[in-house]
Amino acid sequence: MPQFKQFPLPDTAEGLTEADILTWHVKPGDTVTVNQIIVEIETAKAAVELPCPWAGVVTELLAEPGQTVEVGVPIITIDTDPGGAAAPAPVVAEANGTSSGKIGEEMPGGRIATLVGYGPKSGTAKRRARKDAPAAAPAAAVVAPPAPAPAPVVAPPAPVVVAAPVQAPGGYVPLAKPPVRKLAKDLGVDLHALTGSGPNGVITREDVETAVAAPVAAAAPAASYVDNGSRERRVPIKGVRKATAQAMVDSAFTAPHVTEFLTVDVTPMMELRARLKNAPEFRGVKLTPLAFCAKAIILAARRTPDVNATWDAAANEIVYKDYVHLGIAAATPRGLVVPKVRDADRMSLKELAVALDELATVARDGKTSPADMMNGTITITNVGVFGVDTGTPILNPGESAILALGAIRDMPWVVDGEIKIRKICQLALSFDHRVVDGQQGSQFLADVGALLAEPGIAMTY
């Protein structure tokens, strides 16, 4: 007799409560093995691939691509004994959500530990209703093998009517294929409000297109009325965008921000960069102005350690850190992420340049892990790559300073009483005024500017 097990959405990083299903790598009927990648999800911090905890056959996918699922809610059902010998009773997903076992190690009851928080969530799971289940039946958290019956009961074909755009208590999801769901999402159509014209009430592409055209046709007689809804697009707030928004709001309304600006002649830095690029030890190294700025921040923080400190309101303390985990704000297809260069204060200029290049590559590919974006101490945001001169950056929560590096432009500059064309850059420093006083913030910004204007000053630090 088959044995059905449900795999609940695990907590892939500390404190996560939900994730979005990005892509399924399996479908019902596929045979899977232990640790085979079955699904890619997007958490508030990164995209993560989840391995399968059991070997068997996929019987049902309990969440659609694009659906947001809470941690602990089952997302897939797997038959771990397809066509095997009769079992005394169907296997029920265990209720406890913690385990001290190692990943891949079999636990009591035959269970295999996979990720932190892999146990199912206590209480009734919210999942998509099965299309062959009676409408009045309560949602079940346990999937048991179907009992043998004399003959299947087939309902006569009839169009399915969805009464109103209100979801059923069991978390019902309208029947529609992923391309149709994407079309509805792009056009701003609520699938709950549609009546499916396909087999078994499946919503088709034509149903969605008809729903878009209907309000426009209704509004046609009124020449003075314009239906803006058909020209708007709504995107759910979730994943990285949701986490970034919450972090920025928390920071802006918790830490009193102060922003200072400084315009710097970085011609000597650019000349040094050109010389180092031709040096044998820097051959093949992507040496960017960001690397010089990172090095300048690290050196300047030694003289003003307050910018590398943290305000701990719970303990009523300021925590000074004798290390620098340098955050680099990076724009990715999924939104803004801030991965960290760990112990950047121990790196040479060449090591910093290599680390920054690797970090940017991983971020652009969307492969930055949640652990790489935690516990930073100070951050750089390079707005200059977009041709922007300056800005007022917002602090990352838990940090006391962030520096914006602007575009480097050829501009007139007074040198020894004469106007010359020089490489000019603007810096903007935002800091937490609870931790950093105006004198300290100004001194730090001046030191960074001096190091970029004349790299040889580093010899005096």
**Residues that are catalytic:** 433
**Alpha carbon separation from 248 to 150, 198, 255, 339 (Å, rounded):** 61, 45, 11, 16
Fill in the amino acid letter for 73.
V
Helices (H), 144-223: 178-187, 205-219
Q: Which residues pair with 1 in a beta bridge?
A: none
CA 26 – CA 458 distance, rounded (Å): 56
Q: For the packed helices 349-364 and 289-303, what is the interaxial angle rounded to 10 degrees? A: 120
Q: For the residues of 284-343, what is the DSSP string, one character each?
A: T----HHHHHHHHHHHHHHH-GGGGEEEETTTTEEEE-SS--EEEEEEETTEEE--EETT
Which position has the token pair 């079940």? 140
Q: Are 432 and 395 in contact (CB under 8 A)?
A: yes
With vertex at residue 377, the alpha carbon angle to CA 375 and CA 380, rounded to the nearest 5 degrees, is 115
3-state secondary structure of 61: strand
